[in-house]
Amino acid sequence: MTSVMRKIVDRMMFALFIFIAAVVTAFLVYFIFYIVSRGYTAFSWTFLSTAPHGIKMEGGVLPMIVSSVYLTLLTLLIAVPLGVGGGIYLAEYAGKGRIVESIRFAIDLLSSVPSIVFGLFGLVLFVQVMGLKYSMLAGALTLTLMVLPIILKISEESFRAVPDAYREASLALGATKEQTIFRVVLPTAIAGILTGAILAAGRAFGETAAVLYTAGMAPLAPVSPLEGGRTLSVHLYLLATTGHLEEAYRVAVVLLVIILLFNLASNWIMNRYRRKFVSEAI
Amino acid sequence: MKRSRRVSPTQAVLFMMTLISVVGLALIFFFVIREGYPIFSKVGLGKFLLGREWLPTRGLFGALPLILTSLMLVVGSVLVATPLGVGLAIYMVEYSPRPVRRFLKTIVELLAGIPSVIFGFFGITVFIPLTRHYFGSSGFGLIPAIVVLAIMILPTITAVSGDAIRAVPRENRLIVQALGGTRWQTVRRGVLPSAFRGIITGTILAEGRAIGETMAVLMVLGNAPMMPKALNQPAAAMPSQIALDMAYATGDHRVALFALGAVLLVFAAVLIFAARRVGRQRR
């Protein structure tokens, strides 16, 4: 290749990469704009605070918001302690043995299980065998298994990111290993744990397939964890596939805005945390 | 061996919390296979996997059309998403200035966080009319499904291959530059060969995501469980068919859906095995 050709190819590849980056960015912007511009009427108090009525599901989405929030919080309530506990174990206690390797493999496998398979499993074990029926609890238990790998991985990473000097300082002062972990390492890693929890919340909030046959589709606001409910995502699915597009746009806006807020929040915390951590470590 | 390695109660509790994942995974395999197994003994494993007719009302449970469609979706979406995803990763790591990289990182993370039901809805309102217009059919079918899936798996490919590209030692780049290489030659000769395994790992993980994707596919594929004939015709994939039929399936039909779930589990497990193998040999 002559040097002119090389320069031309170099320029062309550079242009191609910029083009790809621009296309992906433009797509996301268009995607958000498209949905928000058609469903922005969702930002009205009546829509957010009343129940749907009639065959076209007009009116509001209050019961769906309640169901989604209920389900997400219940999931986090179960999954965060388990995930953080597991993360502590993997980061602070686990060695490199066979058993730990197989546990890690199982976690990888769990994160690859398709969401509808989680739904099938939840339907059999929680809804039927355990007799929970279509309920918030059955949905939350199913979602717990789904989001557990996310929380586990991110909390393990944030524990590992805590410098050993912290642990050594604590141990040198006579603290036990438990005291060191829970009073020194855990508080330092809290931002990472929070990030994991928010990501998990976003995942649970937007999930549909695993929830359809575990939390149900009844368009009523649940009170007890043994009652079922229809989440925003399930509501959007039902509206979109039955041709109620106008209502669907509005539900999509509510869902999209909440999910984007979750993601921006976790992003923000992580960036702040990294900055703080780097400066402290120096 | 040190004898002082006493296990504290805290450690035991934390270990059990870790084990929940393993137990959960085992329960998933156990229950899905237990509920689906009877169809294998009734129809036969071979006939289930290779049967060409899926007509539950007539007692025909041939899953081949669904399996083939799922595989076509995986191959199609990975073919579309890989050049874009890897290109984006190369741009982010090798070319872009810091603020642009952070901006793009946010874009990719936001894209990864959007729920599949919203992608499906976007597919119905945007891609279906486009497909109808350009390919003259109902609009539902493999084309919109592949496009939607490609967008959904792009963040996975970008994230994993970006990590691999970042992990390439600086010397690789310096050597090519010292020999007078251009920026692209540095990437092409110095970076990509070392990052190749990581990029493959990313595409395998993306395949895992694509094969299990349910809602977005369900909403745009048209759900006609027949052998896929053309890209612009409706078809049905494994996960979407399960989600659709579960609403009313009883008896053998329900059993067959769990068997499909078991097949999906096996596919997902094989892909994770493959990703780990490819990923490990890098070191």
Inter-chain CB proximity A118 and B208 less than 8 Å: no
How far the first Cα of chain B sits from its last, in Å, is 29
pLDDT band at B8 (very low <50, low <70, confident <90, very high): confident
Inter-chain CB proximity A108 and B272 less than 8 Å: yes
Residue B243 maps to a domain:
yes
Residue B53 maps to a domain:
no
User: Residue B54 and residue B37: Cα distance in Å, rounded?
Assistant: 17
Q: Which domain holds residue B261?
A: 63-281
Mean pLDDT of chain B: 93
Which CATH number characterizes residue B234's domain? 1.10.3720.10
Distance in Å, alpha carbon of B31 to nearest chain A alpha carbon: 6
A22 interfacial to chain B (CB closer than 8 Å): no
Residue B119 maps to a domain:
yes
A81 interfacial to chain B (CB closer than 8 Å): yes
Distance in Å, alpha carbon of B121 to nearest chain A alpha carbon: 6
Q: Which residues, in sequence order, are CB contacts of A262 under 8 Å at separation 6+?
A: A198, A199, A201, A202, A205, B113
pLDDT band at B229 (very low <50, low <70, confident <90, very high): confident
pLDDT tens digit sequence for B101-115: 999 999 999 999 999
pLDDT at residue B79, rounded to an integer? 97
Model ipTM value: 0.93
pLDDT tens digit sequence for B204-228: 999 999 999 999 999 999 999 999 8
If one counts the domains in chain B, the total is 1
Concatenated DSSP letters of chain B: --TT-PPPHHHHHHHHHHHHHHHHHHHHHHHHHHHHHHHHHHH-HHHHHH---EEGGGTEE--HHHHHHHHHHHHHHHHHHHHHHHHHHHIIIII--HHHHHHHHHHHHHHHHS-HHHHHHHIIIIIHHHHHHHH-S-S-SHHHHHHHHHHHHHHHHHHHHHHHHHTS-HHHHHHHHHTT--HHHIIIIIIHHHHHHHHHHHHHHHHHHHHH--HHHHHHSB---S----TTS-B--HHHHHHHHTTT--HHHHHHHHHHHHHHHHHHHHHHHHHHHHHHHT-
Residue B74 scores a pLDDT above 80: yes
pLDDT in tens, chain A (282 residues): 678 888 999 999 999 999 999 999 999 999 999 999 999 988 888 888 888 877 666 778 999 999 999 999 999 999 999 999 999 999 999 888 899 999 999 999 999 999 999 999 999 999 999 999 999 999 999 999 999 999 999 999 999 999 999 999 999 999 999 999 999 999 999 988 999 999 999 999 999 999 999 999 988 889 999 999 999 999 999 999 998 998 999 999 999 999 999 988 988 888 777 666 554 443
| Closest residue in A to B215 (Cα–Cα) | A209
pLDDT at residue A277, rounded to an integer? 57
* C-alpha dist (Å) from residue A261 to A32, A118, A155, A186, A202: 13, 26, 21, 25, 9
| Closest residue in B to A182 (Cα–Cα) | B10
Residue B20 maps to a domain:
no
Binding-face residues of A in 130-169 toward B, CB within 8 A:
145, 148-149, 152
Residue B186 maps to a domain:
yes
